[in-house]
Amino acid sequence: MHSFTLPPLPYGYNDLGEWIDGQTMEIHHTKHHQAYVNKLNQALTTYQAPYPEALATFCSEVDNQTPMGIRNNLGGHYNHTLFWQIVTPSGRQSLSPALRSAIEANFGTLEACQSAFTQQALGHFGSGWAWLAVDSQGALFLSSTANQDNPLMKVTGIDQQGTPILGLDVWEHAYYLTYQNRRPDYVNGFWEVVNWQVVSDHYSEAIQR
Ligand code: MN3
């Protein structure tokens, strides 16, 4: 049987500079994300339905009938795998012309998109994620989801389905050691480490889905 594994980070735990301290990154990766992987594999040993090995495809099959042990841990694995990829120590990299055009068409400017995303992240009550995603028509939209849900899932509480291209973990475990209760500082600092090249690649893939 297939089992899922923890992906290595594409940078060191201490490499994200002032945004996030190394201890937070190490615990987040080796404890939190590893636990989602372990519990997902454990849940799959008693899961009756056949499941896809592609995480995005698997997430898109999650609905209200899916056991919570699958939904939460699959989401945790997918969401963190995306999250590690879309930040980088080397600072901002340029958006593709296609993504820039889409952002300008939907939001007017990149800055307006970032500001609206920031409001999603700050306005989300409790644990969850903020997203920039692409719907089935290829249009960008912003949302936030609770716990480890994501916009691929067809579950109550998710109004708009789509493929995430940018996500921010707003669980306190993601930032508490560095920022304590100061979620705004964590979210504002996020823009300094977003890897727009990777986000652009995700956009290109998403509009072909
Ligand atoms: Mn997390």
Using one digit for the tens of pLDDT, what is the confidence trace for 44-94?
Answer: 999 988 999 999 999 999 999 999 999 999 999 999 999 999 999 976 678
User: How close is the Cα of 174 to the center of ligand 1, in Å?
Assistant: 5
User: How close is the Cα of 81 to the center of ligand 1, in Å?
Assistant: 10
Is the pLDDT at 138 greater than 80? The verdict is yes
Of 1-10, 85-94, 166-175, where does mean pLDDT reach its minimum?
Answer: 85-94
Q: What pLDDT score does 208 carry? A: 87
Angle between helix 183-190 and 110-123 (nearest 10): 150
Q: What pLDDT score does 209 carry? A: 73
User: How close is the Cα of 113 to the center of ligand 1, in Å?
Assistant: 23
pLDDT range class, residue 35, cuts 50, 70, 90: very high
Q: What is the CA radius of gyration of the chain?
A: 16
Q: What pLDDT score does 28 carry? A: 98
Q: What pLDDT score does 155 carry? A: 96
User: How close is the Cα of 37 to the center of ligand 1, in Å?
Assistant: 12
Q: What pLDDT score does 93 carry? A: 77
User: How close is the Cα of 97 to the center of ligand 1, in Å?
Assistant: 31
User: How close is the Cα of 127 to the center of ligand 1, in Å?
Assistant: 9
User: How close is the Cα of 128 to the center of ligand 1, in Å?
Assistant: 9
Q: What pLDDT score does 94 carry? A: 87
Two tokens at 74? 């699959």
pLDDT range class, residue 17, cuts 50, 70, 90: confident
Q: What pLDDT score does 105 carry? A: 96
Give 182-191 pLDDT, tens digit per residue: 999 999 999 9
User: How close is the Cα of 101 to the center of ligand 1, in Å?
Assistant: 31
User: How close is the Cα of 172 to the center of ligand 1, in Å?
Assistant: 8
User: How close is the Cα of 145 to the center of ligand 1, in Å?
Assistant: 13
User: How close is the Cα of 93 to the center of ligand 1, in Å?
Assistant: 24
SS3 87: strand
User: How close is the Cα of 146 to the center of ligand 1, in Å?
Assistant: 12
Residues contacting 205, CB < 8 A, separation 6+: 163
DSSP 122-189: HH--SSEEEEEEE-TTS-EEEEEEETT--TTSB-TT--S--EEEEEEE-SGGGTHHHHTT-HHHHHHH
User: How close is the Cα of 76 to the center of ligand 1, in Å?
Assistant: 7
Over residues 100-104, the mean pLDDT reads 97
